[in-house]
Amino acid sequence: MEHDVAWKKYDEADLEALEQLTAEYIDFISDNKTERECAAAAIALAEERGYRPLDEAVREGRALRAGDKVWAQAHGKALILAHLGSAPLAEGFNILGAHLDSPRLDLKQNPFSESNGLAHLDTHYYGGIKNYQWVTLPLALHGVIAKTDGTVVEVNVGEDAGDPVFCVTDLLIHLAGKQMGKKASEVVEGEDLDILIGNRPLVIEKDDADGADDGDAAAGVDPAATEVDAADRPVYEKLAEKEPVKAFALKLLAEKYGIAEEDFLSAEIEAVPAGRARDLGFDRSMVIGYGQDDRVCAFTSLAAQLALADAALEKTGMCVLVDKEEIGSVGATGMASQFFENTVAEIMELAGEGGPLPLRRALAASSMLSSDVSAGFDPAYAAAFEAKNSAYLGRGLVFNKYTGSRGKSGSNDASAEYVARIRRVMGDAGVSFQTAELGKVDVGGGGTIAYIPAKYGMDVIDSGVPVLSMHAPWEVTSKADIYEAFKGYEAFLKNA
């Protein structure tokens, strides 16, 4: 059973809508490369469409009713949008759930080092990566630095044309005989993913170092009267003798951001591939860019939620964008936190349906698409796939009845009845879709957030866009699949 290529059905209006959507998508993933940036951008877009803060309604004790649109966020990294429908909330929600985090290199809390005239930042990789893919490519630094005075400094270096970039170096091929004999997992060790940031030393003139002008004595001025106490000198000047290159980097950071080395103890700085996502192929049919797992599904879920505009929904439509999926959905901003459940409880309370039992009934009666990417079939690595149960670029939205590894371990396995209902919704809306597994049995595996909301008893199935080179610094998707995902998610919100 094969699914036809979605491109074949498009007329000029479809192609125009497809290009407009994917242009917006390229801008979104180019401008927002961290979960914080994605959440902030999503909130801004939602507020333009009439969504209001849920916590504002809670403070005011304002009742919610059909047609109201609210948003809630957790620590600036996770977000929930809700468009209230006319049906009682206890009858459940139609939910799109995706994640905003992507594999990357995080700076350690004490990251600065210098050796042999080169300054580096030490990193700890986040999520599943092939270490060797992260060497010799331009990197940008994104994130925040929280200072003890309560201020938070935003950092974004490496994206503008005039910005410097950074990189992890590699061993030249001429000396790499031993390295080339290693297993791929050992070619570049995690502790060797150090980012090169500088080579220029800070030069402290003698006058600057002792605070006295050499001409003072000749002019009859007592040097002791102009001497600066060493304790008053900037820390980076004190470092200049031992680590002059590191000192110069810290001087630049102090001047630009007003931060010191110790401020990195309370920082979240992510090193990500520098540069914009781009059209791929002579036909411009694909997108190559960083973080498409899972921002391609997060963006299309967000776009589908916002496309509801002022539609009169029956069931409440909800978009859940969370953090930490790449490391197990843990923490205060992951799907396994209480953020989702607490937000639903607040909405139900303001809608006049509060209470533990109505909440449980609502969650159990809900339907969800766990919007996460699928492994696209790559003919260059065909041996890893089972052809008739694989996702193909250009054939539309992918549904994975189950993920997991080996014997479906760690997977949510959607019921046959729910799969049939999803088929009907997609068919009625004319959405191109396909079904797939994550590669051959016993070859590997992976998971999503699906199993977490499924614990409430709701129906959940994985659905998303097929991706080539998943978890690489640059990933590939088809514009047709992005467009079909958007259409499928919108149809789900309206009709599931």
User: Is the fold of 6-102+290-495 the same as that of 104-203+231-273?
Assistant: no
**Integer Cα distance of 42 and 32 in angstroms:** 10
Give pLDDT, residue 220: 47
Give pLDDT, residue 218: 44
CB 391 within 8 A of CB 436: yes
Give pLDDT, residue 239: 85
Question: Which residues face 397 on adjacent strands?
Answer: 433
Tens-digit pLDDT string for the chain (496 aa): 778 899 999 999 999 999 999 999 999 999 999 999 999 999 999 999 999 999 999 999 999 999 999 999 999 999 999 999 999 999 999 999 999 999 999 999 999 999 999 999 999 999 999 999 999 999 999 999 999 999 999 999 999 999 999 999 999 999 999 999 999 999 999 999 999 999 999 998 766 555 544 444 444 444 444 344 555 677 888 888 899 999 999 999 999 999 999 999 999 999 999 999 999 999 999 999 999 999 999 999 999 999 999 999 999 999 999 999 999 999 999 999 999 999 999 999 999 999 999 999 999 999 999 999 999 999 999 999 999 999 999 999 999 999 888 888 888 899 999 999 999 999 999 999 999 998 888 887 888 999 999 999 999 999 999 999 999 999 999 999 999 999 999 999 999 8
- Name the fold adopted by 104-203+231-273: Aminopeptidase i, Domain 2 (2.30.250)
Listing DSSP states for 117-134 in one string gives TEEEEEEEEESS--GGGG
Angular region, 245: left φ>0, alpha ψ -120 to 50, beta rest? alpha
**Integer Cα distance of 292 and 286 in angstroms:** 12
Identify the residue whose tokens are 């993933």.
29
**Integer Cα distance of 463 and 419 in angstroms:** 11
Q: Which CATH class is domain 6-102+290-495?
A: alpha beta
Output the CA angle 282-284-286, nearest 5 degrees. Answer: 115
Give pLDDT, residue 228: 43
Give pLDDT, residue 336: 96
CB 279 within 8 A of CB 286: yes
Report domain extents, the chain.
6-102+290-495, 104-203+231-273
What is residue 24's three-state secondary structure?
Answer: helix
Report CA-CA distances (Å) from 375 to 49, 278, 316, 340, 485. Answer: 33, 20, 31, 27, 15
Give pLDDT, residue 408: 87
